[in-house]
Amino acid sequence: MAPACGASKDAGGSASSATSSSTGSGGGSGSCALAANTTATSTVTNGCARRTRDTNACQAARKAQGLGGAWLEFSCRVTLTKTSTSVQAVSDSQPDHPSSYFATSNNCYEAYKTSFPNPNLIAAQSLTVSVPLTPTTTKTNMGLGFVGVAVNGVAIFDNQAAPGDDIFLEAGSFDRCGGHPQQQGQYHYHGEPYAISFDDAALIGVLRDGYFVYGRRDADQSLPTLDASGGHTGTTADSPTPVYHYHLNQQTSTGATTAGQKQWFLTTGTYHGTPL
């Protein structure tokens, strides 16, 4: 069964003021190369430091294509190409933070035992996500597999587990930063990615229908009222003009084993628009 995820914690972890480094505990020498051009902040949730990403090296090229706003916040590890109708994002879906799902010899490995078994290890992928420049408003159901890409290039999956599995139960297979790999080694997030966002208004990524997804809160730090797709129309830190966008949204399990457990998911399982 392909692992999926959820979580049994209401708040999704707790924040502290500790400082984290980008150095893993793997058997290699040196620091985690994937974390280059990131800085661990003092916001730490579940042992995972939120990171800022230096995008200066790719700003000029992106602006030359006519990209702006939220697109300028994507890590330079994500290759962005604009066409007349779409933006294509290409990455290897590896996280820019330590994980217990790297091989122990990898400098990005950190020791952490999850409560739910997942035997998979992270492997570099060829992730290509194309999104429309002008999204539609024709709601579409999501399927298994990637439904978007995060600002650090990690794949975003929806709020489903593999058929017959309970995504809330499989929350225990998340690493410290809220992700895990599936059987082919593709690391991904279903819920709150602590290296990017925790109980805030941070940009998390974009879904395949072209709408961006943000943290739990609006730019004014209020908790928004969301529609059935997990979004609403309003201003963001990237757009002073009201635009439709998604937010992390809290869901409650109705499963036989996990009934009543809560989790902040990145999706509700429905696109607001139509993916390419």
Residue pLDDT, tens place only, 10-69: 333 434 333 333 556 555 546 999 999 999 999 999 999 999 999 999 999 999 999 999
Give me the numbers of helices (H) and strands (E) for the chain, helices first please. 1, 18
Residue spans of alpha helices (H) in 197-240: none
Residues 6+ apart with CB under 8 A from 52: 38, 39, 41
The pLDDT of residue 171 = 85
> Which residue type does 177 have?
C
Average pLDDT over residues 179-204: 97
The pLDDT value given to residue 19: 30
Percentage, residues of the chain above pLDDT 90? 85
| Beta-ladder partners of 270 | 141
Tokens (6 digits) for 236: 């963001």
Give residue 37's identity as a one-letter amino acid code: N
CA-nearest of 75, 14, 81 to 48 is 14
Residue 64: its pLDDT value, please? 98
Q: Considering only CA atoms, which of 239, 153, 236 is closest in space to residue 201?
A: 236
Distance in angstroms (rounded) separating the CA atoms of residues 140 and 275 = 8
Coil, strand or helix at 276 = coil
- How much is the pLDDT for 99? 98
The predicted structure's pLDDT at residue 48:
98
Q: Do strands 179-181 and 146-150 pair parallel, antiparallel, or not at all (unpaired)?
A: unpaired
Instruction: Quick: pLDDT tens for 97-136.
Output: 999 999 999 999 999 999 998 999 999 999 999 999 999 9
Q: How far is CA 269 from the centre of its chain?
A: 15
Tell me the residue type at 215.
G
Give the whole-angstrom CA distance, residue 242 versus residue 236: 7
Q: What is the pLDDT averaged over residues 210-236?
A: 97
Percent over 70 (pLDDT), the chain: 89
| The pLDDT of residue 5 | 40
Residue of 151, 166, 161, 134 lying closest to 255 (CA atoms): 166
Percent helix / strand / coil, the chain, rounded to 5: 10, 30, 60
d(CA 259, CA 262) in angstroms, rounded, equals 9
Read off the pLDDT band of 198 (50, 70, 90): very high
178: left (phi over 0), alpha (psi -120 to 50) or beta: left
pTM assigned to the model: 0.90
Task: Report pLDDT for 2.
Answer: 36
C-alpha neighbours within 13 Å on the C-beta side of residue 185:
10
